[in-house]
Structure 1
Amino acid sequence: MDPVGELTVTRVRPLTPRMSRVSFTAPAGLVHWPDQQLKLMFPRDGTLPLPPSDGDDMRWYQAYLAIPEKSRPWLRSFTVRRHDPSRGEIDVDFVLHGAAGPAVRWARAAAPGQVVGRSGPAEIYRKPLRAGDWYLFAGDETALPAIGSLLESLAPSARALVFVEVAAAGEEQPLSTPDGAEVRWLHRAAGESVVGAVRAASFPAGTVSAWLAGEAGAVRTLRRHLVDERGIDRREIDFTGYWRKKLTQDDAPTEEDMAEAMERLELAEETG
Structure 2
Amino acid sequence: MTAPQNTGRLDAGPIDTGPLDAGRLGAGPLAAGAHAGLADPQDALRRLEALALSWELQARPLAPSGLALAGEGWSVDIHPAPGGLSLAAEAGDEAILRGLKEMTEAMLAGLSPEAAERLRWSDGARPGAPAADFREWTWIGRRNVLPGLDRLVFACPDAARYAAAPMHVRLLVPPCDGAAAEWPRQKANGGIAWPSGEAALATRVYTVRRADPVRGEIEVDAVVHGDDLLAGWAARARPGWRLGVLGPSGAPPPADGPLLAAADLSALPALARILAADPAREGLALAAAPPEAARYLAPPLGVTLRLAPPETGAEALADLFLEAAETALPACSAPARWWFAAEAAGVRRVRARLDALNVDRARRDCVAYWRA
Calculate the TM-score normalised by the size of structure 2: 0.56
Q: 1:138 aligned to 249, 262, 281, which one? A: 262
Q: 2:183 aligned to 43, 50, 65, which one? A: 50
Q: 1:198 aligned to 321, 346, 363, which one? A: 321
Q: Deviations over 1:167-226 (max 9, x none)?
A: x44666522321101111111447794213213312133310111212122112112223
Alignment of 1:67-216 (within 5 A): 67-97=195-225, 100-122=227-249, 125-132=250-257, 134-154=258-278, 156-166=279-289, 168-169=290-291, 173-189=295-311, 193-201=316-324, 202-203=327-328, 204-206=331-333, 207-216=335-344
Q: Quote how far apart the aligned CAs of 1:34 are.
A: 4.3
Separation in structure 2 between the aligned mates of residue 191 and residue 120 of structure 1, nearest angstrom: 31
Count of aligned pairs between the two proteins: 233
- Determine helix, strand or coil for the equivalent of 1:121: strand
- Determine helix, strand or coil for the equivalent of 2:192: helix
Q: Quote how far apart the aligned CAs of 1:45 are.
A: 5.0
What residue identity is the alignment partner of 1:236? R
Q: Quote how far apart the aligned CAs of 1:89 are.
A: 1.1
Alignment of 1:241-260 (within 5 A): 241-245=368-372
What residue identity is the alignment partner of 1:104? A
- Determine helix, strand or coil for the equivalent of 2:353: helix
Distance 1:237 1:18, change over 3 A: same
Q: Quote how far apart the aligned CAs of 1:32 are.
A: 2.7
Distance 1:12 1:244, change over 3 A: same
Gaps of 5+ in 2: 1-19, 21-131
Q: Quote how far apart the aligned CAs of 1:153 are.
A: 0.5
Distance 1:189 1:36, change over 3 A: closer
Separation in structure 1 between the aligned mates of residue 371 and residue 313 of structure 2, nearest angstrom: 20
Match status 1:30 vs 2:161 = yes
Other-structure match for 1:41: 172
Separation in structure 2 between the aligned mates of residue 126 and residue 135 of structure 1, nearest angstrom: 15
Which entry has the higher C-alpha Rg, 1 or 2? 2
Answer yes or no: is the 8 Å Cα contact 1:165–1:187 preserved in 2: yes
Separation in structure 1 between the aligned mates of residue 165 and residue 299 of structure 2, nearest angstrom: 14
Gaps of 5+ in 1: 246-272
Distance 1:108 1:17, change over 3 A: farther
Separation in structure 2 between the aligned mates of residue 172 and residue 205 of structure 1, nearest angstrom: 23
Q: Deviations over 1:232-262 (max 9, x none)?
A: 33331112111111xxxxxxxxxxxxxxxxx
What residue identity is the alignment partner of 1:89? E
Q: Deviations over 1:101-132 (max 9, x none)?
A: 2222113334432211111114xx34452411
- Determine helix, strand or coil for the equivalent of 1:147: helix
Distance 1:26 1:53, change over 3 A: farther
Q: Quote how far apart the aligned CAs of 1:85 are.
A: 1.4
Match status 1:3 vs 2:133 = yes
Separation in structure 2 between the aligned mates of residue 35 and residue 146 of structure 1, nearest angstrom: 11
Alignment of 1:209-248 (within 5 A): 209-228=337-356, 230-245=357-372
Other-structure match for 2:74: none
Q: Quote how far apart the aligned CAs of 1:97 are.
A: 3.1
Separation in structure 2 between the aligned mates of residue 44 and residue 19 of structure 1, nearest angstrom: 22
Q: Deviations over 1:20-48 (max 9, x none)?
A: 10111235261432461111111225542
Separation in structure 2 between the aligned mates of residue 107 and residue 62 of structure 1, nearest angstrom: 25
Separation in structure 2 between the aligned mates of residue 173 and residue 20 of structure 1, nearest angstrom: 15
Answer yes or no: is the 8 Å Cα contact 2:171–2:244 preserved in 1: yes
Answer yes or no: is the 8 Å Cα contact 2:261–2:338 preserved in 1: yes
